[in-house]
Amino acid sequence: MSLAELRGIKGPFGLTIERDLYFGPLATLTVYAEAARLAEGVVEDRASVEAAFERLERRAKEDRRVLKARML
């Protein structure tokens, strides 16, 4: 999804998406996406993000490929 698409999204009462100025990422976006798939929703807690990263690492090893995702 592009930034232009994100800017065009309107939520309830016409609210737009805003950047969280206080968010400090724990990992790359790929790890957060995997954590959300596992939790079936958005997560920010370290345990969920680390579990997702470990799962991605295992799959990469099984598939013998390099994992570009990482913890920060």
pLDDT in tens, 24-68: 999 999 999 999 999 999 999 999 999 999 999 999 999 999 999
* Residue 53 belongs to a domain: yes
List beta partners, residue 10: 16
Higher pLDDT, 50 or 19: 50
* Residue 36 belongs to a domain: yes
* Residue 51 belongs to a domain: yes
pLDDT of 1 strictly over 90: no
Directed axis angle between helix 29-39 and helix 46-62, to 10°? 100
* Residue 12 belongs to a domain: no
Indicate the pTM of the whole model.
Answer: 0.75
* Residue 47 belongs to a domain: yes
> Comparing C-alpha atoms, which of 43, 39, 69 is closest to residue 56?
69
Task: Look up the domain containing 45 and give its range.
Answer: 24-72
